[in-house]
Amino acid sequence: MSVVSGNVLLTGATGGIGHSIARAFAAQGADLVLTGRRADVLEPLAAEVGGRALACDLGDGADVDRLVAAAGAVDVLVANAALPASGPLLEYTQEQIDRALEVNLRAPITLARALAPGMVERGRGHLVFISSLAGKAAAPGSSLYSATKFGIRGFALCLREDLRSTGVGVSIVFPGFIRNAGMFADSGAELPRGIGTRSPQQVASAVIRAIERNRAEIDVAPVGLRVGTALAGLAPQTSASVSRLIGSDSISATISRGQREKR
């Protein structure tokens, strides 16, 4: 039996991308444990996909421990939850910085550390981390968010090497600009002509594909954005100059304004 039809713990299930991921696993016959902060959103989704709803604040270490205990044996972790954490660093309080680091970076690491031993013991399982193209390329107004997403990439790639002979896979999915749901869509920002988007369903498909093929990384973005991201890794200063020419500062400012209340 494929692990995609096993026991799946999905964080960030209250958002639109989380909904799409949950439905994709349900179509595979998975038993889902759905978590997020809003029980009123989780419970209808759990009823729809035949799963369990466990409300949890990933910014609270004790709550994360309770989630692990309540989830039971998990075959697949999909660490999808994240705070936007957009905007210039100097606008943030220390409390807001700490919360972004807790939710976006510490919680996924803690969940992986707690759940991986059981997977290793059973000789099967998969850990999927939802990052972002902001975890590969720098952009204005995203220093804190990118720090967490760059961090998740480094953690996951190293963990994949640590677990390579255990039967447990590790994958990272990197969405670009996602329409109709998620942080970018919720911000109300508009992209310049020619910069394309992808759908929440395509993110969900990438998650399933990453597990089935044990892919280390999958980008969910149009070719142009994928190429631009790759070039940013090779020549970050030049890439930043080009991005400014196509309006990255304006886009970043709009996204930051739209997400300020979610810090």
**How far is it, in rounded angstroms, from Cα 102 to Cα 90?**
19
Interval 239-249 mean pLDDT: 62
DSSP 198: B
Torsion angles phi and psi, residue 115, rounded to 5: -95, -25
User: Comparing 56-70, 99-113, 158-172, 193-207, which segment has the lowest mean pLDDT?
Assistant: 193-207
pLDDT at 263 over 60: no
What pLDDT, on the 0 to 100 scale, is given for residue 243?
67
pLDDT at 249 over 80: no
What pLDDT, on the 0 to 100 scale, is given for residue 141?
81
User: What is the token pair recorded at 167?
Assistant: 């039967």
Contact 54, 33 (CB under 8 A): yes
User: Comparing 5-14, 28-37, 143-152, 181-190, which segment has the lowest mean pLDDT?
Assistant: 181-190
Which helix (H) or strand (E) segment holds residue 171: the answer is strand 168-175
- Distance of CA 62 to CAs 56, 66, 73, 105, 235, Å? 10, 6, 19, 16, 42
Residue 92 is among the residues annotated as catalytic for this protein: no
User: Comparing 32-41, 128-137, 173-182, which segment has the lowest mean pLDDT?
Assistant: 173-182
pLDDT at 254 over 90: no
pLDDT at 63 over 70: yes
Whose structure tokens read 């190429």? 227
What pLDDT, on the 0 to 100 scale, is given for residue 25?
98
**How far is it, in rounded angstroms, from Cα 158 to Cα 181?**
30
| pLDDT grade for 223, boundaries at 50, 70 and 90 | confident
Q: Are strands 76-79 and 52-55 parallel, antiparallel or unpaired?
A: unpaired
Residues in the chain: 263
User: What is the token pair recorded at 15?
Assistant: 């958002």
What pLDDT, on the 0 to 100 scale, is given for residue 77?
98
Based on DSSP, count helices (H) and strands (E) in the chain, helices before strands: 11, 7
| pLDDT grade for 86, boundaries at 50, 70 and 90 | confident
Torsion angles phi and psi, residue 233, rounded to 5: -70, -30
| pLDDT grade for 261, boundaries at 50, 70 and 90 | low
What pLDDT, on the 0 to 100 scale, is given for residue 224?
81
Question: How many other β-carbons are positioned within 10 Å of the β-carbon of residue 50?
Answer: 11
Residue of 30, 74, 116, 145 marked active site: 145
What pLDDT, on the 0 to 100 scale, is given for residue 253?
61
The string over 212-234, giving b where at least 16 C-beta atoms fall within 10 Å of a residue's C-beta and e elsewhere, is: eeebebbbbbbeebbebbeebee
What pLDDT, on the 0 to 100 scale, is given for residue 101?
97
Domains of the chain: 3-262 (3.40.50.720)
Per-position DSSP letters for 83-146, written without gaps between them: ----S-GGG--HHHHHHHHIIIIIHHHHHHHHHHHHHHHHT-EEEEEE--GGGTS--TT-HHHH
User: Comparing 2-11, 34-43, 217-226, which segment has the lowest mean pLDDT?
Assistant: 217-226
Read off the pLDDT of residues 181-209 as tens digits, 9 standing for 90 and up: 766 666 666 666 667 888 999 999 999 99
Mean predicted lDDT score pLDDT of the chain: 89
Read off the pLDDT of residues 26-56 as tens digits, 9 standing for 90 and up: 999 999 999 999 999 999 999 999 999 999 9
